[in-house]
Amino acid sequence: MSDPISQELFARASKVIPGGVNSPVRAFRAVGGEPVFIKEARGPVLVGADGAEYVDYIGSWGPMVLGHAHPDVVAAIQDAATRGSSYGAPTEAEITMAERIRDAVPTMEMSRLVSSGTEATMGALRVARGYTGRDLIVKCIGGYHGGADYLLVKGGSGLATLGEPDSAGVPAAIAGTTLLIPYNDAYAIEKLFSERGSEIAAVIIEPVAGNMGCIPPDPVWLDAIRTQTQNHGALFICDEVMTGFRVAWGGAQALYDIRPDLTCLGKIIGGGLPVGAYGGRRDIMEKVAPVGPVYQAGTLSGNPLAVAAGLTTIEHLLRPGVYEDLERKGDQVQGLLEQHAGAAGVPITVQRVGSMVTAFFRDKPVRNWDESCDTDREAFGRWHAALLENGVYWPCSQFEAAFISLAHDAEALEKTGRAFKAAFAAL
């Protein structure tokens, strides 16, 4: 149950905003409740409309790796704002951002800033189609890459949460340019390329799946994608909108030794403001306008406030020990989940890569979308509601990864442990 103030706000919102929310997963439909409205956030804490405090495991669905309202990020945004909020002309900070990205993710020799992860994947796929002269793209069943028409085919968490595997409003001809493969299935990718390899422009994947819950990739599968794309003249796109600067300084491609042709970033590189980026091999990125024929543009691309917030966030991630700290905190959360589920006799399987974690309500690992669906989502919903009552804001869908920040301190983790204990016991 959400608090009375949130209930009132939700009723008011529902009259003027579809479903009362500006992005579907926020509506709590997957857990059968109503959303808690947030009035402010600091460090690891979200403050609800009624003043109740929650330890936050959403982190704005990924960006808030430093925690909320980090003083340096706030100062950077304030400082940038005094110098104007948008120019529509290039700035030095955008070059610094592209250099930082290239230093952290060496496969991104050149990059283009956009305003969201959705725009990043759209840009990358248009370049891939322009570069190869082919139309077909390949994505995973349950993989989410933003809101473009051709990507809303078996698109993971948000769509599944609505009970609609595909969105209305997507022309069949456009959906028909998307081919689907199961996550982590090397045989499927080999078979697909043996049948249609010469028509495929690109394969796009989440190198650690986050939108069907947290699923690590099988290295054999990653190798198969690299080999098949290379052999058939297609491009390999890593969508690191969620994993970039999250699972390691160099993203999942550093962790799993992947060499994609193109990479998409978002979330963390905006420090909580709207940013995305796509980039990769120089010869491919030189197809982008104005040097090449692939058009892509944006009024607010490289926005000075967003770049300031992103650069400040990235500066903090450069400090020694940061990713070890995230790993330690992730390990602690995993330990607490396993301890309290075990004590209460609730069968769960915890999957985690660094500070991305999912407690799947089933007793065996999850490797793909079908297995992610084979979970006890009714129990998950009750667990989620009990966590809220005990001051923990966990992602409101079994299909979403939880995010831990550097601000999750001992106090936050202790409160989390108490909430896990109570919530598992209540099942």
Ligand X SMILES: Cc1ncc(COP(=O)(O)O)c(C=O)c1O
Active site (annotated) includes residue 144: yes
CA distance 301 to 122: 14
In the list 2, 132, 211, 372, the residue contacting ligand X (rule: CB under 6 A) is 211
CA distance 353 to 141: 20
Q: In the numeric block, which tokens belong to residue 279?
A: 């980039």
In the list 34, 56, 206, 371, the residue contacting ligand X (rule: CB under 6 A) is 206
- Regarding 237 and contact with ligand X (CB under 6 A), the answer is no
Do residues 184 and 214 lie in contact, with contact meaning Cβ atoms separated by under 8 Å?
no
Sequence-distant (6+) residues with CB within 8 A of 155 are 142, 143, 144, 145, 166, 167, 211
- CB of 3 vs ligand X, minimal distance in Å: 27
- Regarding 6 and contact with ligand X (CB under 6 A), the answer is no
- Regarding 139 and contact with ligand X (CB under 6 A), the answer is no
- Regarding 121 and contact with ligand X (CB under 6 A), the answer is yes
In a 10 Å sphere around its CB, with 0-12 CB exposed, 13-18 middle and 19+ buried, how is residue 362 labelled?
A: middle
- CB of 241 vs ligand X, minimal distance in Å: 4
- Long-range Cβ contact pairs of 407-413 (< 8 A, separation 24 or more): 407/43, 407/44, 407/66, 407/67, 407/68, 407/70, 408/44, 408/55, 408/67, 408/329, 408/333, 409/43, 409/44, 412/43, 412/44, 412/45, 412/55, 413/329, 413/332, 413/333, 413/336
- CB of 15 vs ligand X, minimal distance in Å: 25
Binding to ligand X in span 388-417, by CB under 6 A? none
End-to-end CA distance of the chain, in Å?
16
| Interface size with ligand X, residues (CB under 6 A) | 16
CA distance 39 to 223: 45
CA distance 50 to 41: 13
- Regarding 35 and contact with ligand X (CB under 6 A), the answer is no
Do residues 397 and 382 lie in contact, with contact meaning Cβ atoms separated by under 8 Å?
no
- Regarding 207 and contact with ligand X (CB under 6 A), the answer is no
- CB of 119 vs ligand X, minimal distance in Å: 7
Q: Which is nearer to ligand X, 369 or 420 (CB)?
A: 369
Stretch that binds ligand X, among 138-146, 218-226, 283-291, 335-343 (CB under 6 A): 138-146
- Regarding 242 and contact with ligand X (CB under 6 A), the answer is yes
Binding to ligand X in span 272-311, by CB under 6 A? 276
Sequence-distant (6+) residues with CB within 8 A of 4 are 50
- Regarding 116 and contact with ligand X (CB under 6 A), the answer is yes
In the list 123, 142, 182, 210, the residue contacting ligand X (rule: CB under 6 A) is 210
Stretch that binds ligand X, among 175-183, 205-213, 323-331, 405-413 (CB under 6 A): 205-213
- CB of 313 vs ligand X, minimal distance in Å: 15
Do residues 20 and 29 lie in contact, with contact meaning Cβ atoms separated by under 8 Å?
no
- Regarding 178 and contact with ligand X (CB under 6 A), the answer is no
Active site (annotated) includes residue 376: no
Query: Which residue's C-beta sits nearest to ligand X?
Result: 117
Stretch that binds ligand X, among 11-19, 114-122, 293-301, 373-381 (CB under 6 A): 114-122
Stretch that binds ligand X, among 117-125, 127-135, 314-322, 359-367 (CB under 6 A): 117-125
Stretch that binds ligand X, among 28-36, 70-78, 194-202, 234-242 (CB under 6 A): 234-242
Helices of type H across 270-321 = 282-285, 304-317
Q: Which residue numbers are catalytic?
A: 144, 239, 267
Binding site for ligand X (CB under 6 A): 61, 116-118, 121, 144-146, 206, 210-211, 239, 241-242, 266, 276
